[in-house]
Amino acid sequence: MSEQTPHQNITFSLAGADAQAQTGHGYLALPASGSGPAVIVIQEWWGLTDHIKDVTDRLAAAGFVALAPDLYGGSITHDGAEAQEMMSKLPAEEGARMLAGATDHLLGLDAVSSATVGAIGFCMGGGFVLAMAAQQGDKVSAAVPFYGVGQGVPESYAGITAAVQGHYAEHDESYPVEQAREQEEAIRAESGAEVSYFYYDAGHAFHNDTNAIGTYDPQRAKLAWDRAVTFLKEKVA
C-alpha cells in the first residue's frame, strides 16, 4: 500500500497553475557553503523516497543547491504494481508543469549561483529529465537521464539545448538497450545538442542502492554517479 513521505520542506508555484492546484512541494538540500549551482532531481516511480532524498543530499554535499519535486504529492510505495499505477495516473503535462514551477523556484533562490539548472532523474524521472530539457530550453544546461522510461519521455527532442549525458543498462528489461541507442541518436539528430550515452553491464535501476528490484550494482553505480556529478559541475553555470 502507498504511504506518505515526510520528505517535503518547501512549496513552490506551479507554472500556469489554476485555482485548484497552485502549489507543488519538494525536498530542498543546500551545500555546506550555502550557495551553489542548481540541480533538479526527479524521482523514480516509487515516489519521493528515502533514496531520492539521499541522492539530493549527495548532490548538496557535492556543492549543488538540489531540489527534488514531489511529483506524487506525498505518496510513496514499495510495490511495483502500485508504482506502475501511480506513474500511469501522473499525466505527462502535469509532471512537466510541476517541473517548470520547480525550475523557476530554484532559479529564483538567492542561494543559487547559476543562471541555468541541471536535471538528473531515474527510471520515470529519467524520462521526465528529457521532457524537461525539451520544454524548458535554455533554462536547462545539463540533462542526465538514468535509464529513463515512462510517459515522461517526450515525443520530440527538438527543443533540447542542454548537453545530455545518459546512463543506460545493457540488460534492462524495462527499456531494452536497443531503444536506448535509438534514443541517443534521435536526440543527437533532432536537437543538435551535445550527447554522450554510457552503457553498463547491468540491469534496470542499477544505481538504486536500496536494491528495490534486485539489480543494484555498486561498482557501476559509483562509476555512473561520478560521471554524472563531474558532468553537472562542468555544464551548470
**Tens digit of each residue's pLDDT (9 = 90 or more) over 153-164:** 888 999 999 999
Residue 143 has pLDDT above 70, yes or no: yes
Over the stretch 172-197, which tens digit does the pLDDT of each residue have? 999 999 999 999 999 999 999 999 99
**pTM of whole model > 0.85?**
yes
Residue 77 has pLDDT above 90, yes or no: no
Range(s) of the domain holding residue 20: 3-235
C-alpha cell, 137: 530550453
- Write the burial class of residue 156 (CB in 10 Å: 0-12 exposed, 13-18 middle, 19+ buried): exposed
**Residues above pLDDT 70, as percent of the chain:** 94
Helix, strand, or coil here: 170? Answer: strand
Cα–Cα distance, 181 to 211 (Å, whole number): 25
Over the stretch 79-133, which tens digit does the pLDDT of each residue have? 888 988 888 888 888 888 899 999 999 999 999 999 999 999 999 999 999 999 9
pLDDT score recorded for residue 1: 45
pLDDT score recorded for residue 40: 98
**Total H helices, total E strands in the chain:** 6, 10
Query: Which CATH number goes with the domain that contains 134?
Result: 3.40.50.1820
Cα–Cα distance, 103 to 165 (Å, whole number): 19
How many Å separate Cα 126 from the centre of its chain? Answer: 5
- In SS3 terms, 24-40 reads as EEEEEECCCCCCEEEEE
Average pLDDT over residues 19-43: 90
C-alpha cell, 81: 504494481
Provide the domain count of the chain. Answer: 1
> Could you count the other beta carbons within 10 Å of the beta carbon of residue 205?
27
pLDDT score recorded for residue 139: 97
C-alpha cell, 234: 562542468
Average pLDDT over residues 139-160: 92
Strand ranges in 43-124 using DSSP code E only, listed in sequence order: 65-69, 75-76, 112-122
